[in-house]
């Protein structure tokens, strides 16, 4: 896998290139992932410019975008909005969900939208997929795109798990203090806000395999065509 990129002001930014896959490895410089871009500074903008991004796929809902807007129009990219969990993100802390609960809710309630994210990746590159933290919505959708392209499952899980090490400790402390002030009885705040344990993604993939036969079959069941899966593989995987 590639080293994490430093994009000043961006949270949890990285390239998914260099992952082992059936017949090759993922291409560097094609699919990037991150948290929100609201604080990207001049140096960060220049880094993004050099990456040549043609498309940014934003998974946040309207309230999140209004709270932390992305102001990168001068980069010349297209922004595609595909909100996941629209209007309900804050409720997950109030309901004290576990990561397993959250991810099951995502795959059960947003299958068609996840397929739209995959289609947005296929349509133009280099492409960046992001949400607020780049951990859950981005983590699940990118994992499913990688799995559908034939990336080794251990590598898919490891890419998801990298997020935890990329979230700054000071950010985590600040976010957790705020959330605990709102939800003092919640038991899963730290897990939801800061953790990306490998077993959580392993359980997502195992669940989709048990219910659909394979993660790629989940996407196919929600409308992704065979030709689109072939194109996803072509776009993301460099043959040996």
The 10s digit of each residue's pLDDT in 94-120 is 888 899 999 999 999 999 999 999 999
pLDDT of residue 139: 97
Q: Is it the case that residue 1 has pLDDT exceeding 80?
A: no
Percent of the chain at pLDDT > 70 equals: 97
> 111-156: per-residue pLDDT in tens?
999 999 999 999 999 999 999 999 999 999 999 999 999 999 999 9
Strand order in the sheet with 24-26: 20-21, 24-26, 237-239
pLDDT of residue 186: 86
Alpha-carbon distance 172 to 165, whole Å? Answer: 11
5 is catalytic: no
Please name the residue that has the structure tokens 């919640």: 186
Q: Is it the case that residue 20 has pLDDT exceeding 90?
A: yes
Q: Is it the case that residue 86 has pLDDT exceeding 70?
A: no
Q: Is it the case that residue 41 has pLDDT exceeding 70?
A: yes
Mode of pairing for the β-strands spanning 55-58 and 14-15: unpaired
> Going from the N-terminus, what domains does the chain have, and what CATH number goes with each?
14-234 (3.90.190.10)
Would you state the structure tokens that stand for residue 89, as one six-digit string? 């993100």
Question: pTM of the entire structure?
Answer: 0.95
- β partners of residue 173: none
C-beta neighbour count of 139 within 10 angstroms: 27
Alpha-carbon distance 216 to 147, whole Å? Answer: 7
- β partners of residue 151: 21
Would you state the structure tokens that stand for residue 183, as one six-digit string? 């939800």
Catalytic annotation, pick one of 131, 146, 200, 216: 131
Confidence of residue 4 (pLDDT cuts 50, 70, 90): low
Alpha-carbon distance 111 to 213, whole Å? Answer: 15
């Amino acid at each position: 896998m590639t080293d994490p990129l430093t994009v000043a002001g961006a949270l949890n930014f990285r390239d998914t290139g260099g992952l082992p896959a059936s017949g090759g490895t993922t291409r560097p410089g094609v699919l990037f992932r991150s948290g929100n871009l609201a604080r990207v500074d001049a140096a960060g903008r220049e880094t993004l410019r050099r990456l040549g991004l043609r498309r940014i796929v934003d998974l946040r809902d309207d309230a999140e975008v209004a709270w932390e807007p992305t102001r990168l129009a001068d980069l010349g990219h297209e922004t595609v909005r595909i909100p996941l969990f629209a209007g309900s993100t804050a409720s997950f802390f109030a309901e004290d969900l576990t990561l397993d609960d959250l991810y099951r809710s995502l795959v059960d309630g947003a299958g068609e939208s996840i397929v739209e994210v995959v289609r947005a990746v296929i349509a133009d590159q280099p492409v960046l997929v992001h949400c607020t933290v780049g951990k859950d919505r981005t983590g699940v959708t990118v994992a499913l795109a990688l799995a559908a392209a034939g990336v080794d499952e251990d590598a898919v899980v490891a890419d998801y798990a990298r997020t935890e090490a990329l979230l700054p400790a000071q950010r985590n402390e600040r976010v957790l203090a705020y959330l605990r002030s709102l939800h003092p009885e919640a038991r899963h705040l730290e897990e939801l806000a800061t953790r990306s344990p490998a077993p959580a993604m392993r359980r997502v993939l195992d669940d989709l395999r048990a219910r659909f036969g394979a993660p790629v079959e989940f996407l196919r069941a929600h409308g992704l065509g065979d030709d689109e899966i072939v194109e996803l593989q072509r776009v993301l995987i460099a043959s040996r």
